[in-house]
Amino acid sequence: MIQVQTLLNVSDNSGGKIVRCLKILKKGHQTRYAKIGDLITVSVQQIRSKNKSTSKVKKGDVLVALLVKTRVFSSSKHGVSFRFDTNSVVLLDKDKKTKPLATRILGLVPRSFRNSKFSKIVSLSAGVI
């Protein structure tokens, strides 16, 4: 359960390290929490020190991100429940909200992205759970 002002890790090689959630982009009523698979607007708080010159993002940039890992238990359609150690996002392109900004996704991502419009993220990741 991610809400506004939550600090999140970036699990891709775009150059960002820590981001802050600014807004949850969900249709319908005003929502307070975001779950795995939701789009959120984030601000880059910290970048990786190694990649300062080649980083695709700068400190203070406002981007759209996809929530891929949360510390709260999630359950799949098959009845399997799982949770991750960190709250993590993948940064997306501002214009095309389905294309990732990076070329690699670090760590595992949920299998539910395979059948959605985020199949590119599954193919770039290390594996699925």
Q: Could you count the other beta carbons within 10 Å of the beta carbon of residue 45? A: 15
Residues 89-124 as b or e (16 or more Cβ within 10 Å = b): bbbbeeeeeeebbbeebbbbbbbbbeeeebeebbeb
* Whether the Cβ atoms of residue 46 and residue 59 lie closer than 8 Å to each other: yes
- How far, in whole angstroms, is CA 105 from its chain's centroid? 10
CATH architecture of 7-102: Beta Barrel (2.40)
- Helix and strand numbers (H, E) in the chain are 1, 9
pLDDT value at position 10?
97
In the predicted model, what is the mean pLDDT of residues 26-51?
87
Per-domain residue ranges of the chain:
7-102
pLDDT value at position 88?
97
Residue 47 clears pLDDT 80, i.e. is over it: yes
Beta carbons within 8 Å of 46's beta carbon, 6+ residues apart? 16, 17, 18, 59
> What pTM did the predictor assign?
0.91
pLDDT value at position 77?
73
In the predicted model, what is the mean pLDDT of residues 72-92?
89
